[in-house]
Chains A and B, each alone.
Chain A
Amino acid sequence: MRRILYACLGVFLLGVGPALAADEWGLAGEKTARFEAKVVDVLCELTGDCLAKCGGGKRQLGLLNSAGKLTLPLKNQTLFSGAALELIDFCGKQVIADGLMITNRGYTFFALQFVREAPDGKWRKANRFLGKWAKANGIPANSDKVDQWYEHDPNVKRVLAKDGKLGLGLAADRAYDKTQK
Protein backbone atom coordinates (compact mmCIF):
# COMPACT_ATOMS: atom_id res chain seq x y z
CA MET A 1 0.00 0.00 0.00
CA ARG A 2 2.82 2.40 0.88
CA ARG A 3 4.47 1.62 -2.43
CA ILE A 4 1.28 2.56 -4.21
CA LEU A 5 1.01 5.80 -2.30
CA TYR A 6 4.60 6.83 -2.99
CA ALA A 7 4.78 5.68 -6.54
CA CYS A 8 1.38 6.17 -8.06
CA LEU A 9 0.66 9.42 -6.45
CA GLY A 10 4.18 10.69 -6.78
CA VAL A 11 4.26 11.73 -3.15
CA PHE A 12 7.60 12.90 -1.95
CA LEU A 13 7.50 12.83 1.78
CA LEU A 14 11.12 13.23 2.70
CA GLY A 15 11.56 16.86 1.79
CA VAL A 16 14.40 18.44 -0.09
CA GLY A 17 17.60 16.92 1.20
CA PRO A 18 20.88 18.76 1.02
CA ALA A 19 22.22 16.62 -1.82
CA LEU A 20 19.04 17.06 -3.86
CA ALA A 21 19.42 13.62 -5.30
CA ALA A 22 16.39 11.88 -6.71
CA ASP A 23 14.57 9.51 -4.41
CA GLU A 24 13.68 5.97 -5.33
CA TRP A 25 9.94 5.32 -5.40
CA GLY A 26 10.09 1.53 -5.53
CA LEU A 27 8.86 1.30 -9.10
CA ALA A 28 9.71 -1.57 -11.41
CA GLY A 29 12.56 -0.63 -13.72
CA GLU A 30 13.41 2.68 -12.07
CA LYS A 31 16.87 4.22 -11.94
CA THR A 32 17.82 7.57 -10.53
CA ALA A 33 18.97 9.89 -13.28
CA ARG A 34 20.34 13.39 -13.65
CA PHE A 35 21.03 14.86 -17.07
CA GLU A 36 21.24 18.11 -18.98
CA ALA A 37 18.71 18.78 -21.71
CA LYS A 38 16.77 21.48 -23.48
CA VAL A 39 13.08 21.89 -22.63
CA VAL A 40 11.06 21.50 -25.82
CA ASP A 41 7.43 21.26 -26.90
CA VAL A 42 7.15 17.60 -27.93
CA LEU A 43 4.65 18.16 -30.74
CA CYS A 44 6.79 21.00 -32.09
CA GLU A 45 9.92 18.87 -31.88
CA LEU A 46 8.29 15.99 -33.76
CA THR A 47 6.36 17.85 -36.43
CA GLY A 48 7.36 21.51 -36.56
CA ASP A 49 3.88 22.51 -35.38
CA CYS A 50 4.91 24.99 -32.72
CA LEU A 51 3.11 27.41 -30.43
CA ALA A 52 4.60 30.46 -28.75
CA LYS A 53 6.26 29.78 -25.39
CA CYS A 54 6.01 26.01 -25.82
CA GLY A 55 2.23 26.29 -25.64
CA GLY A 56 2.20 28.09 -22.29
CA GLY A 57 1.54 24.92 -20.31
CA LYS A 58 -0.98 23.46 -22.72
CA ARG A 59 1.45 21.14 -24.43
CA GLN A 60 3.51 18.22 -23.19
CA LEU A 61 7.14 19.16 -22.79
CA GLY A 62 10.14 16.96 -23.43
CA LEU A 63 13.80 16.95 -22.53
CA LEU A 64 16.11 16.99 -25.55
CA ASN A 65 19.77 16.24 -24.86
CA SER A 66 22.75 17.31 -26.95
CA ALA A 67 22.78 13.96 -28.78
CA GLY A 68 19.21 14.55 -29.95
CA LYS A 69 17.61 12.06 -27.59
CA LEU A 70 14.09 13.09 -26.54
CA THR A 71 12.98 12.03 -23.06
CA LEU A 72 9.32 12.24 -22.09
CA PRO A 73 8.53 13.14 -18.47
CA LEU A 74 5.19 11.70 -17.37
CA LYS A 75 5.15 12.79 -13.74
CA ASN A 76 6.16 15.44 -11.25
CA GLN A 77 6.15 15.28 -7.44
CA THR A 78 2.54 16.13 -6.62
CA LEU A 79 -0.55 13.99 -6.63
CA PHE A 80 -1.97 12.91 -10.00
CA SER A 81 -0.11 15.54 -12.00
CA GLY A 82 2.36 15.76 -14.85
CA ALA A 83 5.53 17.67 -15.58
CA ALA A 84 4.44 20.31 -18.11
CA LEU A 85 3.79 23.01 -15.52
CA GLU A 86 7.10 22.20 -13.81
CA LEU A 87 9.06 22.72 -17.02
CA ILE A 88 7.17 25.50 -18.75
CA ASP A 89 9.21 28.23 -17.07
CA PHE A 90 12.27 26.73 -18.78
CA CYS A 91 10.85 26.60 -22.32
CA GLY A 92 13.73 26.59 -24.80
CA LYS A 93 16.34 26.62 -22.04
CA GLN A 94 18.95 24.14 -20.97
CA VAL A 95 18.13 22.52 -17.64
CA ILE A 96 19.48 19.89 -15.32
CA ALA A 97 16.70 17.39 -14.74
CA ASP A 98 16.81 15.08 -11.74
CA GLY A 99 14.46 12.18 -11.13
CA LEU A 100 13.75 8.61 -12.09
CA MET A 101 14.26 7.04 -15.49
CA ILE A 102 11.81 4.18 -15.63
CA THR A 103 11.78 1.31 -18.10
CA ASN A 104 8.71 -0.89 -17.96
CA ARG A 105 6.22 -2.49 -20.35
CA GLY A 106 8.71 -1.84 -23.15
CA TYR A 107 8.83 1.94 -22.71
CA THR A 108 11.33 4.27 -21.07
CA PHE A 109 10.03 7.49 -19.54
CA PHE A 110 10.92 9.94 -16.81
CA ALA A 111 9.56 11.15 -13.48
CA LEU A 112 10.82 14.65 -12.73
CA GLN A 113 11.69 15.32 -9.10
CA PHE A 114 13.94 18.39 -9.31
CA VAL A 115 14.96 20.80 -12.03
CA ARG A 116 17.26 23.77 -12.37
CA GLU A 117 18.47 25.94 -15.21
CA ALA A 118 21.87 24.80 -16.49
CA PRO A 119 24.58 25.09 -15.56
CA ASP A 120 24.14 26.34 -12.02
CA GLY A 121 20.61 27.64 -11.45
CA LYS A 122 18.82 27.11 -8.18
CA TRP A 123 17.19 23.71 -7.74
CA ARG A 124 13.42 23.60 -7.81
CA LYS A 125 11.37 20.77 -6.45
CA ALA A 126 8.96 19.63 -9.15
CA ASN A 127 5.87 20.57 -7.18
CA ARG A 128 4.96 23.90 -8.71
CA PHE A 129 1.80 22.36 -10.10
CA LEU A 130 -0.11 22.96 -6.87
CA GLY A 131 0.61 26.68 -6.65
CA LYS A 132 -0.20 27.18 -10.31
CA TRP A 133 -3.40 25.19 -9.98
CA ALA A 134 -4.45 27.24 -6.94
CA LYS A 135 -3.77 30.50 -8.73
CA ALA A 136 -5.60 29.40 -11.87
CA ASN A 137 -8.64 28.45 -9.81
CA GLY A 138 -8.67 31.45 -7.49
CA ILE A 139 -7.93 29.40 -4.39
CA PRO A 140 -5.51 30.59 -1.68
CA ALA A 141 -2.23 28.68 -1.90
CA ASN A 142 -2.49 27.70 1.76
CA SER A 143 -6.01 26.28 1.43
CA ASP A 144 -6.56 22.65 2.40
CA LYS A 145 -8.14 22.23 -1.01
CA VAL A 146 -4.81 22.64 -2.77
CA ASP A 147 -3.20 19.40 -1.59
CA GLN A 148 -6.33 17.57 -2.69
CA TRP A 149 -6.70 19.58 -5.87
CA TYR A 150 -8.16 16.61 -7.72
CA GLU A 151 -11.24 16.66 -5.47
CA HIS A 152 -11.85 20.33 -6.23
CA ASP A 153 -10.73 20.73 -9.81
CA PRO A 154 -13.58 22.10 -11.97
CA ASN A 155 -12.69 19.87 -14.93
CA VAL A 156 -12.70 16.76 -12.78
CA LYS A 157 -15.93 17.74 -11.05
CA ARG A 158 -17.66 18.36 -14.35
CA VAL A 159 -16.67 14.99 -15.83
CA LEU A 160 -17.38 12.95 -12.70
CA ALA A 161 -20.67 14.73 -12.01
CA LYS A 162 -21.87 13.59 -15.40
CA ASP A 163 -20.28 10.17 -15.82
CA GLY A 164 -19.62 9.09 -12.24
CA LYS A 165 -16.50 7.56 -10.77
CA LEU A 166 -16.90 4.41 -12.86
CA GLY A 167 -17.62 6.38 -16.01
CA LEU A 168 -20.89 4.49 -16.47
CA GLY A 169 -23.26 7.10 -15.09
CA LEU A 170 -24.42 7.99 -11.60
CA ALA A 171 -26.89 5.08 -11.38
CA ALA A 172 -24.02 2.63 -11.91
CA ASP A 173 -22.09 4.33 -9.12
CA ARG A 174 -25.03 3.95 -6.76
CA ALA A 175 -25.47 0.30 -7.65
CA TYR A 176 -21.78 -0.35 -7.08
CA ASP A 177 -21.73 1.51 -3.80
CA LYS A 178 -24.57 -0.67 -2.52
CA THR A 179 -22.46 -3.74 -3.13
CA GLN A 180 -19.67 -2.28 -1.01
CA LYS A 181 -21.77 -1.79 2.14
Chain B
Amino acid sequence: MKILVKVVALSVAAFAIAGSAHAAGGKRMTVTGEVIDTWCYLTEIMYPEGTAHHRCAVWCAAGGIPVGIKDDDGKVYMVLKMESDTTNVVNPAILTIQTHKVTVNGDHYRRDGIDYLLVSKVVEDAGIVNQTHQKHGIQP
Protein backbone atom coordinates (compact mmCIF):
# COMPACT_ATOMS: atom_id res chain seq x y z
CA MET B 1 0.00 0.00 0.00
CA LYS B 2 2.83 2.40 0.88
CA ILE B 3 4.43 1.66 -2.45
CA LEU B 4 1.17 2.38 -4.24
CA VAL B 5 0.84 5.72 -2.41
CA LYS B 6 4.42 6.65 -3.36
CA VAL B 7 3.82 5.74 -6.99
CA VAL B 8 0.65 7.82 -7.10
CA ALA B 9 2.36 10.74 -5.36
CA LEU B 10 5.30 10.63 -7.75
CA SER B 11 2.97 10.40 -10.72
CA VAL B 12 1.01 13.43 -9.53
CA ALA B 13 4.23 15.37 -8.97
CA ALA B 14 5.56 14.41 -12.37
CA PHE B 15 2.27 15.43 -14.01
CA ALA B 16 2.32 18.77 -12.20
CA ILE B 17 5.88 19.45 -13.32
CA ALA B 18 5.09 18.52 -16.91
CA GLY B 19 1.97 20.66 -16.88
CA SER B 20 3.81 23.72 -15.68
CA ALA B 21 6.81 23.29 -17.94
CA HIS B 22 5.45 25.64 -20.61
CA ALA B 23 4.23 28.28 -18.18
CA ALA B 24 7.59 28.33 -16.42
CA GLY B 25 9.13 29.76 -19.61
CA GLY B 26 7.42 33.11 -19.26
CA LYS B 27 9.04 36.07 -17.59
CA ARG B 28 6.76 38.56 -15.89
CA MET B 29 7.33 42.09 -17.15
CA THR B 30 5.86 45.49 -17.88
CA VAL B 31 6.12 46.90 -21.40
CA THR B 32 5.37 50.42 -22.56
CA GLY B 33 5.16 51.11 -26.26
CA GLU B 34 3.14 51.65 -29.41
CA VAL B 35 0.79 48.99 -30.73
CA ILE B 36 2.03 48.29 -34.24
CA ASP B 37 1.51 46.31 -37.41
CA THR B 38 4.49 43.96 -37.25
CA TRP B 39 4.80 43.28 -40.98
CA CYS B 40 5.19 46.89 -42.07
CA TYR B 41 7.41 47.73 -39.12
CA LEU B 42 9.76 44.79 -39.40
CA THR B 43 10.08 44.89 -43.19
CA GLU B 44 10.48 48.70 -43.26
CA ILE B 45 8.63 48.86 -46.54
CA MET B 46 7.04 52.17 -45.58
CA TYR B 47 6.87 54.52 -42.65
CA PRO B 48 5.14 52.26 -40.12
CA GLU B 49 4.39 54.27 -36.99
CA GLY B 50 1.87 56.67 -35.55
CA THR B 51 -1.04 58.36 -37.24
CA ALA B 52 0.58 58.16 -40.69
CA HIS B 53 0.20 54.41 -40.59
CA HIS B 54 -2.89 54.01 -38.45
CA ARG B 55 -5.33 53.03 -41.18
CA CYS B 56 -2.91 50.44 -42.57
CA ALA B 57 -2.35 49.07 -39.07
CA VAL B 58 -6.11 48.58 -38.68
CA TRP B 59 -6.30 46.84 -42.06
CA CYS B 60 -3.43 44.53 -41.20
CA ALA B 61 -4.77 43.66 -37.75
CA ALA B 62 -8.18 42.92 -39.31
CA GLY B 63 -6.41 40.74 -41.87
CA GLY B 64 -4.76 38.66 -39.18
CA ILE B 65 -1.19 39.92 -39.36
CA PRO B 66 0.32 39.59 -35.87
CA VAL B 67 0.04 42.74 -33.81
CA GLY B 68 2.99 43.85 -31.73
CA ILE B 69 3.99 46.33 -29.09
CA LYS B 70 7.18 48.23 -29.92
CA ASP B 71 8.98 49.64 -26.92
CA ASP B 72 11.23 52.68 -26.92
CA ASP B 73 14.29 50.52 -27.63
CA GLY B 74 12.71 49.14 -30.78
CA LYS B 75 12.05 45.74 -29.32
CA VAL B 76 8.89 44.21 -30.78
CA TYR B 77 6.67 41.95 -28.70
CA MET B 78 4.17 39.81 -30.60
CA VAL B 79 0.91 39.91 -28.65
CA LEU B 80 -0.51 36.41 -28.25
CA LYS B 81 -3.05 37.09 -25.52
CA MET B 82 -5.03 40.12 -24.39
CA GLU B 83 -6.18 39.89 -20.79
CA SER B 84 -8.66 36.99 -20.54
CA ASP B 85 -8.95 36.49 -24.29
CA THR B 86 -6.52 33.91 -25.67
CA THR B 87 -7.40 34.45 -29.31
CA ASN B 88 -4.89 36.56 -31.18
CA VAL B 89 -6.08 36.77 -34.79
CA VAL B 90 -8.45 39.68 -35.38
CA ASN B 91 -8.88 40.03 -31.65
CA PRO B 92 -11.42 42.86 -31.18
CA ALA B 93 -9.64 44.34 -28.15
CA ILE B 94 -6.32 44.38 -29.98
CA LEU B 95 -7.90 45.80 -33.12
CA THR B 96 -9.27 48.84 -31.33
CA ILE B 97 -5.95 49.89 -29.79
CA GLN B 98 -3.89 50.03 -32.96
CA THR B 99 -1.28 52.81 -32.78
CA HIS B 100 -2.10 53.53 -29.12
CA LYS B 101 0.65 54.01 -26.60
CA VAL B 102 0.02 51.45 -23.91
CA THR B 103 1.60 50.11 -20.77
CA VAL B 104 0.87 46.46 -20.18
CA ASN B 105 1.76 43.75 -17.73
CA GLY B 106 2.37 40.31 -19.14
CA ASP B 107 4.47 37.23 -19.54
CA HIS B 108 7.36 37.40 -21.98
CA TYR B 109 8.55 34.41 -23.96
CA ARG B 110 11.49 34.48 -26.35
CA ARG B 111 11.64 31.63 -28.82
CA ASP B 112 13.96 31.31 -31.81
CA GLY B 113 14.63 35.02 -31.98
CA ILE B 114 11.03 36.25 -31.63
CA ASP B 115 9.66 38.03 -28.56
CA TYR B 116 6.12 37.06 -27.59
CA LEU B 117 3.99 38.72 -24.94
CA LEU B 118 0.92 37.39 -23.16
CA VAL B 119 -0.76 40.53 -21.89
CA SER B 120 -2.44 39.99 -18.55
CA LYS B 121 -3.48 43.60 -18.01
CA VAL B 122 -3.49 46.89 -19.86
CA VAL B 123 -2.28 49.19 -17.10
CA GLU B 124 -2.54 52.41 -19.09
CA ASP B 125 -3.87 53.34 -22.51
CA ALA B 126 -2.72 56.83 -23.49
CA GLY B 127 -4.44 56.63 -26.87
CA ILE B 128 -2.67 57.74 -30.03
CA VAL B 129 0.12 60.14 -29.14
CA ASN B 130 2.53 59.58 -32.03
CA GLN B 131 1.27 62.09 -34.57
CA THR B 132 3.32 61.44 -37.67
CA HIS B 133 0.91 62.23 -40.50
CA GLN B 134 1.97 65.84 -41.03
CA LYS B 135 5.51 64.72 -41.77
CA HIS B 136 4.89 61.40 -43.48
CA GLY B 137 1.39 61.69 -44.93
CA ILE B 138 -0.90 58.67 -44.82
CA GLN B 139 0.76 55.44 -45.80
CA PRO B 140 0.19 53.64 -48.05
Contact = CB atoms under 8 A, between A and B. Distances in A.
Contact of A80 (B63, B86, B111, B138): B63
Interface residues of B, number: 57
A80 B88 CA distance: 16
A43 interface: yes
A171 interface: no
B76 A105 contact: yes
Contacts of A48: 19, 21-23
Cβ-closest 3 pairs across A and B? A81-B63, A48-B22, A82-B64
27 contacts: A4-B45, A8-B43, A8-B45, A27-B43, A42-B80, A43-B81, A46-B26, A47-B109, A49-B86, A51-B86, A59-B87, A74-B39, A75-B39, A75-B65, A80-B60, A80-B62, A83-B64, A84-B89, A105-B42, A107-B76, A109-B42, A150-B62, A153-B59, A155-B90, A156-B59, A163-B54, A165-B55
Given A82-B63, A155-B90, 20 more contacts: A7-B45, A27-B43, A43-B118, A46-B25, A46-B26, A46-B109, A48-B22, A49-B22, A59-B80, A71-B112, A80-B60, A104-B44, A106-B74, A150-B62, A150-B63, A155-B92, A165-B138, A166-B138, A168-B51, A168-B131
